[in-house]
Amino acid sequence: MVVFHAMSDNQAAPQTDGTAVSRPHTLTVNEIYHSIQGESTWAGRPCVFVRLTFCDLRCNYCDTEYAFYEGQKKTLDQIVTEVATFGCSLIEITGGEPLLQKNVLPLMSMLCDANYTVLLETSGAHDISPVDSRVHRIMDLKTPGSGEVDKNLWSNIDHLTDRDEVKFVMGSREDYDWSRAKIEQFDLTNRCHAVLFSPIFGRIDPRQIVEWILADRLDVRFQLQMHKFIWSPTKRGV
Confidence at 202, pLDDT banded by 50, 70, 90: confident
pLDDT of residue 8: 53
Q: Which residues pair with 194 in a beta bridge?
A: 165
pLDDT tens digits along 47-97: 999 999 999 999 999 888 999 999 999 999 999 999 999 999 999 999 999
Per-residue pLDDT tens over the stretch 97-112: 999 999 999 999 999 9
Is the pTM here over 0.75, yes or no? yes
- For residue 18, the model assigns a pLDDT of 58
pLDDT at site 5: 47
The pLDDT, as a whole number, for residue 225 is 83
**What are 153-172's pLDDT values in tens digits?**
999 999 999 999 999 999 99
User: 108-126: per-residue pLDDT in tens?
Assistant: 999 999 999 999 999 999 9
8 touches 21 (CB < 8 A): no
Of the pLDDT bands very low, low, confident and very high (cuts 50, 70, 90), residue 227 is confident
The segment with the largest mean pLDDT, out of 4-8, 82-86, 202-206, is 82-86
The size of the chain, in residues, is: 238
Mean pLDDT computed over every residue of the chain: 91
Q: What pLDDT is recorded for position 201? A: 84
Asked if the model's pLDDT at residue 14 lies above 80, the reply is no
